[in-house]
Structure 1
Amino acid sequence: MDQIKHNYVEINGLKLHVAEIGSESLPAVIFLHGFPEIWYTWRHQMIAISNAGFRVIAPDYRGYGLSDVPAQPENTSFFDLVKDTASILDSLAISKVFVIGKDFGSMVGYTFAVFHPEKVAGVISLGVAFRPPGSGPHQAQLPEGYYINRWKEPGRAEADFGRFDAKTVVKNIYIIFSRSEIPIANENQEIMDLVDPSTPLPSWFTEEDLAVYGDLYQKSGFQTPLQVPYRILKSKVELPKQAPKHMKVEAPTLLIMGEKDFVFGLPGTAEYIRSGEVKKYVPNLETIYLPEGSHFIHEQFPDQVNQIILNFLNCY
């Protein structure tokens, strides 16, 4: 971890943190995190991929980790993160990159690949198949207590999270999201109540890891993460004017799917992936399933995931 450098790039008046390792002359890989994650979620991958001969960067999104929090987090859009990704690569003089995303970071990566196909050598997603904007999983089939339905509601998560320190909130979310069951609270429960305080962390996530997350979420707070990805789901997706007519990911793409990831159990998701319907939008797609993989597959099985990633990167 001492080999990883920590730099900042200034974009639209915000200082965004970028963790980096590897020579500037090497092929580049950018890792895009999900929630409740930060750059540190890629710690295992950054070392392994750089040791294999790649330049690796892992930014914190605006409002996450060591990056600045926007003056008005509630106005942050999904496309701000896509534009930030492009600006980070431009500032680092990276003209071609492999994009690797996890959870909603996959959607940031996919969208970047749709808008900037000439800059993308390949795409790897952990846990999320590409869907054109507005055609996501069938959220309406899930009850009011589904965690996204709760977190979309302004003030609800703030009150729920506010009962605990940031470290406990992250711990609870890691425990909840590591399960194969879809996180759904009863009418008289909040999402944090789904975890008994005595429940231990997953075996692959240490107290030291949690301390890193807790410190940085204590710094950033949860307002931007609640806005993107959750609160933006309340509004209709407005595509930028330069959006391509056909929303397809043409780059070579790999989906690594944990079969015990709760996301895989969302209505219609497994069928969409297994049937090959997803290939209408990602024609050059390969899917690899890990039977015991959870939502945090890259932290749960780092060696296996690293090898799968390297096998893909070395093909292109």
Structure 2
Amino acid sequence: MEQIQHNFITVRGLKFHVAELGTGSTVVLFLHGFPEIWYSWRHQMLAMASAGFRAIAPDYRGYGLSDIPPEPEKTTFADIDADLVAILDHLGVDKVFLVAKDFGARPAYLFALFHPHRVSGVITMGVPHVLPAPPKYEQPLPEGFYMSRWKEPGRAEADFGRFDAKTVVRNIYILFSRSEIPIAAENQEVMDLVDASTPLPPWFTEEDLATYGALYEKSGFKTALKVPYRSFDEEFGITDPIVKVPALLIMGCKDYVFKFPGMEEYIKLGKAKELVPDLDIIYLPEGTHFVQEQSLELVNELILDFLKSHI
């Protein structure tokens, strides 16, 4: 990973960490999810640069090596959108392919809706394009549903605060790699769902965990809990939610997101294509929620095929 360059640029009053590799004229902007940072795209960045593309992977505000905003609890998805515009302007990049994972799908599709002239295509993993609104799938799920718990101010802070950052990331990676939705019992917290003896997923090394742990030790989790978990009901004033650029959704068939009420039907019965007419969907039979790390060679191939088809 030594080839990857690590730059810091100041826009909108904050210093952002931006990982970059490659010098091609076609730019791929990678948007991470949680509990991830730029590092989750390390394999893809190397593959894109080797194929002649320029890869850019920023840490969002309050994540990784980027500055923590003065009031993390006021961070919004709109801030992330504006940050991305400012970062690309600073770098002199006019147009990009967006590749996003997990909640990164929302800023990716918001960017495509608000700045369609700057987007060549969108690839998301684990999450399709849905209308920005409070998630409807929360209502039928028990109170211990992890997203419900993490939306509650102070609840996750107290839960996470019992452990160091490395252990929190370890537990979340283990939980999110399973095919069942993380749901705590009434007398449990989400972190209690993972036993200390549970091994890491085979594709996630202790070195990887140490990297994530060190970065979250720096940033903490306050901004990450606000965006996404406490910002899903944010209003954007979108009048036309139809995405008009080519798109690809990569879903692991063992991704726990499929268990969200209504999600499998939304993806598999064609409803996702109502908002993204030019959408292809590819299913990876053994894929979990972290397909870009778990099945890196296959995912790299899928990304490259999409890019080459839409340049």
Q: Considering the TM-score relative to the shorter chain, is it more than 0.5?
A: yes
Alignment counterpart, residue 271 of structure 1, candidates 260, 265, 269: 265
Matched residue, 1:80: 79
Alignment counterpart, residue 262 of structure 1, candidates 236, 239, 256: 256
In structure 2, how many angstroms separate the alpha carbons of the residues matched to 1:255 and 1:12? 31
In structure 2, how many angstroms separate the alpha carbons of the residues matched to 1:196 and 1:137? 30
Any conservation in 2 of the 1:137–1:266 contact (CA below 8 Å)? no
In structure 2, how many angstroms separate the alpha carbons of the residues matched to 1:3 and 1:26? 18
Matched residue, 1:155: 154
Any conservation in 2 of the 1:82–1:111 contact (CA below 8 Å)? yes
Matched residue, 1:51: 50
Partner secondary structure for residue 79 of structure 2: helix
Matched residue, 1:119: 118
Alignment of 1:190-269 (within 5 A): 190-233=189-232, 236-240=233-237, 243=238, 245-269=239-263
Partner secondary structure for residue 141 of structure 1: coil
TM superposition shift of 1:279: 1.2
AA aligned opposite 2:10: E
Kindly report structure 1 stretches of 4+ aligned residues shifted beyond 4 Å.
Answer: none
In structure 1, how many angstroms separate the alpha carbons of the residues matched to 2:112 and 2:185? 39
AA aligned opposite 1:181: E
Any conservation in 2 of the 1:137–1:269 contact (CA below 8 Å)? no
In structure 2, how many angstroms separate the alpha carbons of the residues matched to 1:71 and 1:197? 34
In structure 2, how many angstroms separate the alpha carbons of the residues matched to 1:262 and 1:138? 13
Any conservation in 1 of the 2:12–2:86 contact (CA below 8 Å)? no
Give the unaligned 5+ runs of structure 2.
none
Alignment counterpart, residue 311 of structure 1, candidates 300, 305, 308: 305
Alignment of 1:28-67 (within 5 A): 28-67=27-66
In structure 2, how many angstroms separate the alpha carbons of the residues matched to 1:125 and 1:238? 22
Matched residue, 1:5: 5
Give the unaligned 5+ runs of structure 1.
none
Partner secondary structure for residue 113 of structure 1: helix
Any conservation in 1 of the 2:251–2:287 contact (CA below 8 Å)? yes
TM superposition shift of 1:135: 6.4
Any conservation in 1 of the 2:258–2:264 contact (CA below 8 Å)? yes
Matched residue, 1:296: 290
What is the CA RMSD across the aligned residues, in angstroms? 1.0
Partner secondary structure for residue 138 of structure 1: helix
AA aligned opposite 1:246: D
AA aligned opposite 1:289: Y
Partner secondary structure for residue 167 of structure 1: helix
Q: Percent identity?
A: 61
In structure 2, how many angstroms separate the alpha carbons of the residues matched to 1:310 and 1:137? 34
Matched residue, 1:22: 22
In structure 2, how many angstroms separate the alpha carbons of the residues matched to 1:109 and 1:280? 17
Instruction: Give TM-score, length-normalised by structure 2.
Output: 0.98
Any conservation in 2 of the 1:29–1:56 contact (CA below 8 Å)? yes
In structure 2, how many angstroms separate the alpha carbons of the residues matched to 1:263 and 1:283? 22
TM superposition shift of 1:8: 1.3
AA aligned opposite 1:19: A
